[in-house]
Amino acid sequence: MKKLIMQGSKILILLFLLGCTDNENLEVPVSDKTATDPFEANSNSDNSSQRAAGPGGGVMMQAFYWDVPAGGTWYDVLESKIADWDAAGISAIWLPPVSKAMNGPYSMGYDPTDYFDFGDFNQNGSIETRFGSKTELLSLINTAHNYDIEVYADIVLNHNSGGDLESNPFTGTQTYTDFNPASGKFYRSASDFHPNNYVYNDEGIFGGFPDLSHSVPYVQDWLWNRSDGVGKYYKNVMGFDGWRFDYVKGFGGWVVREWVNNVGGFSVGEYWDGNAQKLQDWVNSTNRTSSAFDFACYYKMEEAFDGNDLTKLNGDMLWKRDPEKAVTFVANHDTDEIYNKLHAYAYILTHEGYPTIFYSDYEEWLDKNKLNNLIWIHRNLSAGSTNILYADNDEYVARRNGGPGIVVYLNTSNQWQERWVETNWSSQVIKDYTGNSNWEPTTQSGKWVKIQSPPNSYTIWSTK
């Protein structure tokens, strides 16, 4: 692909190109990874879930939003969408917490009572969970697997809720720490929560709920050691392929490490912090057994796309530091602050990291055809390391260097924009795979080419 040109000609070309821009072109390398698959296996975790067909890797669907309809129908709704999601290129779905919680049929699952009641025991006011029955859950998982779609469980380990009052010898008070689950598995008492004989507290508590103590050997056994414990039952009996760990700021990264090392499966933690260094520190605290949601990327996108300053995309993000451990997203059930969402999806689906689609964005709020197009581009074209080529208030251009690779051009201005950029392609015809531009320019022998983007839109270029 490389072709030498005379130095004098090269100088003239560069002078011409610089004359076509209002600002100096940038070429900022943000990743040194050169593999066509941005997700590489390591000795401590199972990243096979991210190696879907195509050089760009997989795409996750968050298959719920806050306060989905109650009544036990949600699993059936999701099962009816699996075929279409598979056709669109979704490779994994993330479910809400599947076990019975304190508020029974009304709970979103983040107040867990019985980890082994999937909607088949009469407790906390219902038999089914808000989302359905165990039978319906197993049917959903089986259907997803028939389409080679993996299923991730939302695991809440920090706290429990719905226990009975008991005298707590560690606090000298009455506490709601007496758990007698209808499933008959994983009974808990005051000695299994903080404070106890082993440790007074851990990294954090949430909402005043009893804070589960992972330092207690009995708790460790039931969570990840026992063959019939929570992790191994969810994986080997229920069929879950991976885990989204809730509120990991509340306990040490070693907890996730031990879970993954003993249970296996893909893992991503919700470490809610916009500081990329802290996100990477948490990933490292798990001995790199887990990915993390890239909140740093999320907040930079909000500043860039809603604040009309695309130079914010030059900022620090987890995917730039550690792309194989970054799970990128535009919205989720807890936070939905980005207004200019299509630009944000065009960003995460063309850059490194494991992108997540939010159910409501896909099924209700945005143009599904445009999202499907971006998913296809991610899986089939978006590979390799990344270079930021240009950024100002309303223009951003970046290049992916794998095969075949892309150049993405984001434009938030109210007019058409054009820009000369350096590609990885010499003397090749390229086109915009979004259909937003009908140009089909030929790159020069020195790999430079002029591309364009419509007002408040984006284009994504690759070889024909």
Contact yes or no for 349/381 (Cβ under 8 A) = no
* 3 state SS of 320: helix
419 C-beta neighbours (distance < 10 Å), count: 22
For 433-454, the DSSP string reads TTSS-----B--TTSEEEEEE-
Q: Which residues are annotated as a binding site?
A: 158
Percent of the chain with pLDDT strictly greater than 90 = 88
The gap between the terminal CA atoms of the chain, to the nearest Å, is 15
- Check the CA dihedral 330-404-433-429 and report its sign: positive
Query: What 3 state SS string does 49-80 have?
Result: HHCCCCCCCCCEEECCCCCCCCCCCHHHHHHH
Taking the C-alpha atoms of residue 113 and residue 124, their distance in angstroms, rounded to an integer, is 9
CA 420 to chain centre: 33
Contact yes or no for 284/271 (Cβ under 8 A) = no
Q: Which of 202, 203, 235, 232 is nearest to 216 (CA)?
A: 202
How long is the chain?
464
Q: Which residues are annotated as a binding site for Ca(2+)?
A: 158
- Check the CA dihedral 254-94-89-401 and report its sign: negative
In this predicted model, what pLDDT tens digit does every residue of 227-255 receive, in sequence order? Answer: 999 999 999 999 999 999 999 999 999 99
* Domains assigned to the chain: 1-30+385-464 (2.60.40.1180), 39-380 (3.20.20.80)
In this predicted model, what pLDDT tens digit does every residue of 20-74 receive, in sequence order? Answer: 433 334 555 675 433 233 323 333 344 443 444 578 999 999 999 999 999 999 9
Contact yes or no for 297/335 (Cβ under 8 A) = no
Active site residues: 246, 270
Taking the C-alpha atoms of residue 439 and residue 261, their distance in angstroms, rounded to an integer, is 51
Tens of each residue's pLDDT in the chain, 464 residues: 333 333 333 333 333 333 343 333 455 567 543 323 332 333 334 444 344 457 899 999 999 999 999 999 999 999 999 999 999 999 999 999 999 999 999 999 999 999 999 999 999 999 999 999 999 999 999 999 999 999 999 999 999 999 999 999 999 999 999 999 999 999 999 999 999 999 999 999 999 999 999 999 999 999 999 999 999 999 999 999 999 999 999 999 999 999 999 999 999 999 999 999 999 999 999 999 999 999 999 999 999 999 999 999 999 999 999 999 999 999 999 999 999 999 999 999 999 999 999 999 999 999 999 999 999 999 999 999 999 999 999 999 999 999 899 999 999 999 999 999 999 999 999 999 999 999 999 999 999 999 999 999 999 999 99
Taking the C-alpha atoms of residue 335 and residue 272, their distance in angstroms, rounded to an integer, is 10
Taking the C-alpha atoms of residue 410 and residue 397, their distance in angstroms, rounded to an integer, is 6
DSSP state of 236: I
